[in-house]
Amino acid sequence: MKPAWKRPPALLVLEDGTVFRGFTFAGQGRTLGEVVFNTSMTGYQEVLTDPSYKGQIVTMTYPLTGTYGVNDQDMESGAIQVEGFVVKEYQSVASNWRSTRGLAAFLEEHQKIGLEGIDTRALTRHIRTAGAMRGVIATDTDEVAELLEQVAAFPGLNNVDMVRHVTCARPYLWRSGPSAAGTWDPEHRGYRVAAVDFGIKYNILRNLERVGCQTLVYPAATPAEEILAGDPDGIFLSNGPGDPAAVGYGIETVRRLLGRKPLFGICLGHQLLGLALGGRTFKLKFGHRGANQPVKDLRTGKVEVTSQNHGYCVDLESMREVPVRLTHINLNDNTLEGMEHLEIPAFSVQYHPEAAPGPHDATYLFDRFIDLMAAHR
Amino acid sequence: MLINSNPATIMTDPETAQRTYVEPITAEAVAKVIERERPDALLPALGGQTALNVAVQVAESGVLERYGVEMIGAQVDVIKKAEDREQFRDAMTRIGLRVPRSGIVRTLPEAERVGQEIGFPVIVRPSFTLGGTGSGVAYNREELMELAHLGLDASPIHAVMLEESVLGWKEFELEVMRDRMDNVVIICSIENLDPMGVHTGDSITVAPAQTLTDAEYQKMRDAAIAILREIGVETGGSNVQFAVHPGTGEMVVIEMNPRVSRSSALASKATGFPIAKIAAKLAVGFTLDEIANDITRETRASFEPTIDYVVVKAPRFTFEKFPRTEDLLTTSMKSVGETMAIGRTFKEALMKAVRSLEIGCYGFTDPPPDAGADTLDQLRRELRRPNSKRLFQIAQAFQLGLSVAEVNRLTWIDPWFLRHIEELVELEQAIRAPGFLDDPEQLRFAKAWGFSDIRLAELSGSDEETIRRRRAKHGIRPVFKLVDTCAAEFEAYTPYYYSTYETEDESRPNDRRTVAILGGGPNRIGQGIEFDYCCVHASFALRELGIESVMINSNPETVSTDYDTSDKLFFEPLTREDVLHILETERPEGLIVQFGGQTPLNLAVPLERAGARILGTTPDAIDLAEDRKRFQVLLKDLDLKQPANDIAFTVEEAVAAAVKIGYPVVVRPSYVLGGRAMEIVYDEAMLREFMATAVHVSPGHPILIDRFLENAIELDVDAISDGRLTVIGGIMQHIEAAGIHSGDSACVLPPISVAPAIQDEVKRQTRLLARALNVVGLMNIQFALQGSTIYLLEVNPRASRTIPFVSKAIGVPLAKLATRVMLGQSLEELGFVEEVHPRHVSVKEAVFPFSRFPGVDLLLGPEMKSTGEVMGIGANFGIAYAKAQAAAGYDLPRQGTVFISVHDQDKAAAVAVARQFQQLGFNLVATRGTRDHLEAQGIPARLVLKVSEGRPHVVDLIKNKDIQLVINTSMGKKTSSDSYSIRRTTLLYNIPYATTLAGALAMAEAVAELQRGDWDVRTLQEYHGLT
């Protein structure tokens, strides 16, 4: 093995011409994406495999990454979803009893580039002040001008449907993992939840299973009628990547599902619900990505520390005319974090009660969904 | 309203609270304060274990109920539930968590039964022994029986706790806060480099936790929150410790503290989240979402800090002060201080922590050049036994080719930590290759891994300045980044910086007048928070003057490293290299070095040479006072008297010098603080023995030899000078005779038995010296008074350990005035032109760490051993001394039996002491020699056998609680094992004791006052007419 001070160089070029020079610890070639930062100090494996990061290059603000390796349990989907991974210092020695391999090997398995050795705090501060922006990681060239051209040609995420890249190809039943079955299990006595997969995280499915549901996961483009034909007890709208406004078919599906069955949405699912109800979404300057966002439950007055990952947000103002009640608000920037419909059984949150990574303060929402289904069964 | 007996803290400044009681933290004193003040509530959860214990006593005595005082932060039942092992275990079981299996046994058959239930290996811990004496691990029944037998014998309550062994498990801590709305947040996670088996205070610890996945961390977080709710901590901060099996991930709860702790302080500095401050607000009813985050301004306290750097805390040890104690780390804490370092990587933070320790190491150290198989074998043995040099031993093990796997087997330290150390060693080996550092990229790489210029010079056969110049040539210098609680997600307003080798610099130098203050670094014996107190006052004074203050320090246990004490805080090692980087960035007009103790003084000359302007007394004057030869010349010029003295570079020179001076003599190596390796020797044999060890202590430095002034009274003078006028802060008379280190001696202000004419002469000499040394700022002088002859022992033209005590005794903030003086104001302008003569008496007493150190002797000597101090204030000496004793933890008896045993030289003087106690109604018991002498003087005393004379002997009497006070003096190192065992038993049974006759006399006066009863409590504000 080469000594640590002799590493292959690589660079990150942002659309505004900012260049960060570092080294690769995994993969080679080039990769394009919207560059965002995540402030969680743990959970890089969950971040890497979270489909909501599709189209994005992620940097972790915590400088050491790879410390506990990668294991078989903490996957949030079947693959690495981020386009590229940027860290301050890659940890070559993974130490944890569940670890099956190192982070570098994991990235290479999925042909992803890992960049290390850059001032990730400077990168974070740049994104914070200038906003999330497109960028490219390259290991094969040092030609900044050429890379800048490539970045300029990259469409980014605005008005682009990223969901189609991550949704499942056909319906599947969740049984401690994706199963081959594509229909309900008649033996199962629990609530039947139809989950629309806009890029669903496994831990949502694990949580639904934990509270006793059987969940049938549908591709995002499944027509509402087909979902309703399965006679579920409730419908779940999943998280997912990119611009909600670009997922027209999803908005349409939600519109058709409204009022038909109890409905629970998380993240992109929450945004699609907002749009389906006639609201608007907007892009946050640099988004909320981390595991320490304080959210106040307006019903109880209690604060929960939440896991978040979103670049878009439902505009609070746009919901004034809609018969919904604001249920949760972000204490950092007072943005909309949760709502419930006053007339039909539907509620949603912008943040991630399933955590992974992040605190478990909000898992009660899954129980709330059960209660809602119970009331309308 | 505050109650605290520690004068060295900022909190006991009269400006901090509205009403400040510098009174003992005992149930009796607290009850008196409550009776007098009728407060609404009592908040004990911020004052550590002492406060919690006393609060429980006060509550149980019914005082709170009687006066309608509410206990806030932690209720009595909550404290008990957290601290009582049985209750805690039951509580944990109720919420589905596990604590290590354990049981208390009182007989051997019980031990056998419980041991079998727990399963081997089992930890055997005798109850209430000191420093973990008698603890051990039993791997089988036979070992268990043996350890239990010894343990039952060693325990004063004849009980032994058997506990399931979790030795070697990973150790974690979470700092948790809860408000009255049941909002709970985790402020910080900490992972210990040293696994279970070493006290957290003695472990190198790292924040945040490193080797847990998110799933595992969240499980621990859930558990911590559940524990807080189950134990019932309603508001405030708590700390929960966990152990995790490295192979299976099984998690057990070790303990929880329903209060802020040492770890909370560390967590506050590590994250920028002020736990204690917020805990206080929560205790009076605020909720987390109502409190603003000072650092970001726009966010609230109801969040979990996220950090984008690594924090390493390293303990500072002082085993060399306690030669009878083995350098072995156990579950009983031995460190006396700690340092914290921040870096962008673990390696950088670890290397910064090593040099922050100020133990003469600027990186790892090399094994002996002739290291062979023997060295390796010895290293293997040492690695198995955790000790203060462990980190260095691990690095040497890697240098000598041991693998991570083997070191992990020997130490149980997680491979992740070990691999980082191994990588650092690998880089060291590469640097040894000629030319490696000529490559600027490689030099930058080494700096980014935290290497100091000094260590790079050692490795590459160069010198610090050459490395520094090479860096300058290639523009290789650190940048400064902010500690902001949020990993840059929000803009931070609080200027709390650390250095790192990165690209973006966030420092914000400006055009304001700026002064930098060098702090004291890690606490150690001889350099504690007294110096931090002075640094903080310097900062306050600068703020008042409208000058920007820049604080540089590495000690997380201080007020100076609170982010809001100074205008800018640099949490950095106090080395020339690290300080110069800050000076180059901030370009202060001057540097204050005279407040932080020896640490900044050692840097004064190198920094001045590098172009820094030192404010106040010049480094040259400081050197003049410390350089024996130069100082002697000065004293001769001034016609001042010094005890006869000499310097020796060899054993023979020393012997000759001692003969010329005349025994007894005080000997010590040059340039030390805290009297390290200082000793009084009475004859040539002792001298030769000392030379054999002391020369080894500091090679290349001469040995200083002074005439020892027997039975002299020692005086300490603190003064302030603006270069023209010198004003005496106070004269302190030591209780113990000269020969006991001034830091260990109790003292009284004003003096109680020094004639006014002598005091005037002492003041004259003080003014003379201040003028001669051109002191601008503070100065401390130690005098010895033998008969009416005044000897000058030592002059320190800088802040002394006693500045906070004197400031509180006279009601004048001396350090603050000194800062203004250093910036050019005159004492006249400041209105401090005359000595203050308080009407009350103030006593300072030293606090010792003896009970934590197995085997250590209580005898005092010229080598400092105390780790802290307390203050007692009263209308007369007796009550002030009694309060100081109570504050130091000694409950002086009002009646009972006094045991007296003194060495021959003290026999005559012991008579007066014995008579005093006799008159106070005490019974006397004495060993044969002392008894005979007392009887001959007409004082009846009962004979008691020495341990070597048969039974029942004095130790039996102490164990049977038949003795309430012990007076036992001994001469020099010639301590018989008899008197040693008496003193150890005294300590074990927490009986008040005096090891000097002067101390015993003071105790008699104090007892007389206590017998009179009705002593009162009063605030500092009242004493100084501030209300």
pLDDT at residue B669 greater than cutoff 80: no
Provide the shortest C-alpha distance from residue B988 to chain A (in Å). 43
B-chain CB neighbours of A88 within 8 Å are 344-345
B289–A121 CB contact, under 8 Å: no
Domain end (from A130, A153, A176): A153
CB contact set of B128 (below 8 Å; sequence gap of 6+): B155, B156, B157, B988
B300 contacts B281 by C-beta, under 8 angstroms: no
B213–A98 CB contact, under 8 Å: yes
A358 and A247, same structural domain?
yes
Catalytic hit among A126, A288, A310, A352: A352
At residue B482, φ and ψ (nearest 5 deg) are -95, 145
A191 and A136, same structural domain?
no
Nearest-10 Cα torsion for B865, B869, B872, B873? 120
In a domain, A284, yes or no: yes
Question: Residue B891: CA atoms inside 13 Å, Cβ hemisphere, count?
Answer: 10
Which of B218, B271, B287 to substitute to test the interface with A, most A CBs within 10 Å? B218
Task: Name the maximum alpha-carbon separation found in chain A.
Answer: 64
pLDDT at residue B159 greater than cutoff 70: yes
Coil, strand or helix at B707: strand
To 10 degrees, what angle do helices B440-448 and B415-432 make? 150
A23, B241, B552, B982 from A4: Cα distances, Å: 10, 35, 32, 59
A185 and A143, same structural domain?
no
pLDDT at residue B699 greater than cutoff 60: no
Provide the shortest C-alpha distance from residue B606 to chain A (in Å). 32
A63–B217 CB contact, under 8 Å: no
A256 and A301, same structural domain?
yes
Cα Rg, chain A, nearest whole Å: 20
CA angle B376, B380, B386 (to 5 degrees): 140
Nearest CB to A305; choose among B185, B420, B481: B185
Q: pLDDT tens across B175-232, in order?
A: 999 999 999 999 999 999 999 999 999 999 999 999 999 999 999 999 999 999 999 9
DSSP characters over A38-53: E--SS-HHHHHT-GGG
Q: In what order do the strands lie in the sheet with B841-847?
A: B789-796, B776-786, B713-722, B726-734, B747-749, B841-847, B868-874
pLDDT grade, residue B671 (50/70/90)?
low
A-chain CB neighbours of B420 within 8 Å are 93
Residue A87: which of A55, A42, A117 has the closest Cα?
A117
Residues of chain B with pLDDT > 70, as a percent, come to 97
Coil, strand or helix at B136: strand
User: Closest-CA residue in chain A for B222?
Assistant: A360
Q: How many Cβ atoms from other residues are within 10 Å of residue B870's Cβ?
A: 26
In a domain, A158, yes or no: no
pLDDT at residue A141 greater than cutoff 60: yes
A349 and A290, same structural domain?
yes
Distinct helix (H) and strand (E) counts, chain A: 10, 19
Note the pLDDT of residue B739.
Answer: 84
A-chain CB neighbours of B414 within 8 Å are 95
pLDDT at residue B365 greater than cutoff 90: yes
Residue A4: which of B985, B446, B88 has the closest Cα?
B446
B306–A302 CB contact, under 8 Å: no
DSSP characters over B366-379: PPPTT--HHHHHHH
Nearest CB to A294; choose among B246, B289, B416: B289
- ipTM above threshold 0.95: yes
Q: How many Cβ atoms from other residues are within 10 Å of residue B472's Cβ?
A: 11
Number of domains in chain A: 2
Q: Per-residue pLDDT averaged across B853-858, rounded?
A: 82
CA–CA separation, B881 vs B747, rounded Å?
9
B842 contacts B873 by C-beta, under 8 angstroms: yes
User: Closest-CA residue in chain A for B440?
Assistant: A5
Nearest CB to B303; choose among A63, A292, A357: A292
A170, A354, B21, B963, B978 from B941: Cα distances, Å: 99, 78, 41, 13, 20
Nearest CB to A61; choose among B306, B419, B506: B306
B308–A124 CB contact, under 8 Å: yes
B621 contacts B775 by C-beta, under 8 angstroms: yes
User: Closest-CA residue in chain A for B436?
Assistant: A5
pLDDT at residue B675 greater than cutoff 80: no
Note the pLDDT of residue B373.
Answer: 87
Q: In what order do the strands lie in the sheet with B645-648?
A: B645-648, B703-707, B665-669, B679-681
In a domain, A231, yes or no: yes
CA–CA separation, B520 vs B596, rounded Å?
4
Which of A21, A73, A96, A202 to substitute to test the interface with B, most B CBs within 10 Å? A96
Q: How many Cβ atoms from other residues are within 10 Å of residue A39's Cβ?
A: 22
CA–CA separation, B890 vs B990, rounded Å?
8
Coil, strand or helix at B931: helix
Q: Is residue A164 packed enough to be buried (19+ CB in 10 Å), middle (13-18) or exposed (0-12)?
A: middle
pLDDT grade, residue A217 (50/70/90)?
very high
Which of B308, B407, B483 to substitute to test the interface with A, most A CBs within 10 Å? B308
A188 is catalytic: no
Whose tokens are 């056969």? That residue is B461
pLDDT at residue B697 greater than cutoff 90: no
Q: How many Cβ atoms from other residues are within 10 Å of residue B993's Cβ?
A: 20
Note the pLDDT of residue B752.
Answer: 94
Between A and B, how many residue pairs show a Cβ–Cβ distance under 8 A?
Answer: 176
A74–B488 CB contact, under 8 Å: no
Note the pLDDT of residue B973.
Answer: 53
Strands A133-138 and A30-38: antiparallel
Provide the shortest C-alpha distance from residue A39 to chain B (in Å). 6
B-chain CB neighbours of A330 within 8 Å are none
Catalytic hit among A168, A213, A267, A313: A267
CA–CA separation, A57 vs B545, rounded Å?
50
pLDDT grade, residue B422 (50/70/90)?
very high
DSSP characters over B214-261: HHHHHHHHHHHHHHHHHHT--SEEEEEEEEE-TTT--EEEEEEESS--
Give, as one character, the DSSP assignment of residue A211: T
CA angle B259, B262, B267 (to 5 degrees): 95
In the predicted model, what is the mean pLDDT of chain B?
A: 93
> Which runs of E-coded beta strand occur in B166-212?
170-178, 184-192, 205-207
Coil, strand or helix at B191: strand
CB contact set of B757 (below 8 Å; sequence gap of 6+): none
Domain end (from A115, A130, A153): A153
Q: pLDDT tens across B513-538, in order?
A: 999 999 999 999 989 999 999 999 99
Residues of chain A with pLDDT > 70, as a percent, come to 100
Give the H or E element holding residue B471: helix B464-474
CATH of the domain at A123: 3.50.30.20
CATH of the domain at A359: 3.40.50.880
Q: Per-residue pLDDT averaged across B107-122, rounded?
A: 94
- B371 versus A102: the higher-pLDDT residue is A102
CA–CA separation, A275 vs A268, rounded Å?
10
Whose tokens are 């020797």? That residue is B681
pLDDT grade, residue B975 (50/70/90)?
low
A232 and A312, same structural domain?
yes
Domain end (from A153, A173, A203): A153
Note the pLDDT of residue B700.
Answer: 62
A-chain CB neighbours of B491 within 8 Å are 128
Q: pLDDT tens across A34-64, in order?
A: 999 999 999 999 999 999 999 999 999 999 9
B247 contacts B229 by C-beta, under 8 angstroms: no
Provide the shortest C-alpha distance from residue A299 to chain B (in Å). 13
In the predicted model, what is the mean pLDDT of chain A?
A: 97
At residue B533, φ and ψ (nearest 5 deg) are -55, -45
CB contact set of A37 (below 8 Å; sequence gap of 6+): A58, A59, A60, A61, A120, A123, A124, A127, A286, A289, B489
A310 and A283, same structural domain?
yes
pLDDT grade, residue B976 (50/70/90)?
low
B663 contacts B681 by C-beta, under 8 angstroms: yes
Q: Per-residue pLDDT averaged across A364-376, rounded?
A: 97
CA–CA separation, B128 vs B130, rounded Å?
6
Q: Per-residue pLDDT averaged across B851-858, rounded?
A: 82
A267 is catalytic: yes
Provide the shortest C-alpha distance from residue A328 to chain B (in Å). 14
> Which runs of E-coded beta strand occur in B521-644?
548-553, 568-571, 590-592
In a domain, A179, yes or no: yes
In a domain, A14, yes or no: yes
B29 contacts B1017 by C-beta, under 8 angstroms: yes
B563 contacts B272 by C-beta, under 8 angstroms: yes
User: Closest-CA residue in chain A for B415?
Assistant: A95
CA–CA separation, B1027 vs B1019, rounded Å?
9
A331–B300 CB contact, under 8 Å: yes
B-chain CB neighbours of A357 within 8 Å are 214, 218
In a domain, A167, yes or no: yes
- B692 versus B869: the higher-pLDDT residue is B869
At residue A327, φ and ψ (nearest 5 deg) are -110, -30
pLDDT grade, residue B653 (50/70/90)?
confident
CA–CA separation, A269 vs B458, rounded Å?
61
A309 and A210, same structural domain?
yes
Amino acid sitting at position B265: A
At residue B359, φ and ψ (nearest 5 deg) are -115, 20
pLDDT at residue B409 greater than cutoff 70: yes
A270 and A186, same structural domain?
yes
Domain span at residue A60 reads 4-153
A213 is catalytic: no
Q: pLDDT tens across B19-66, in order?
A: 999 999 999 999 999 999 999 999 999 998 899 999 999 999 999 999
In a domain, A225, yes or no: yes
Note the pLDDT of residue B235.
Answer: 94
B-chain CB neighbours of A305 within 8 Å are 185, 302-304
Residue B832: which of B730, B732, B720 has the closest Cα?
B720
A300 and A236, same structural domain?
yes
pLDDT grade, residue B398 (50/70/90)?
very high
Provide the shortest C-alpha distance from residue A317 to chain B (in Å). 21
A137 and A14, same structural domain?
yes
Whose tokens are 């700022």? That residue is B777
A195 and A319, same structural domain?
yes
Question: Residue B584: CA atoms inside 13 Å, Cβ hemisphere, count?
Answer: 14
Provide the shortest C-alpha distance from residue A125 to chain B (in Å). 6
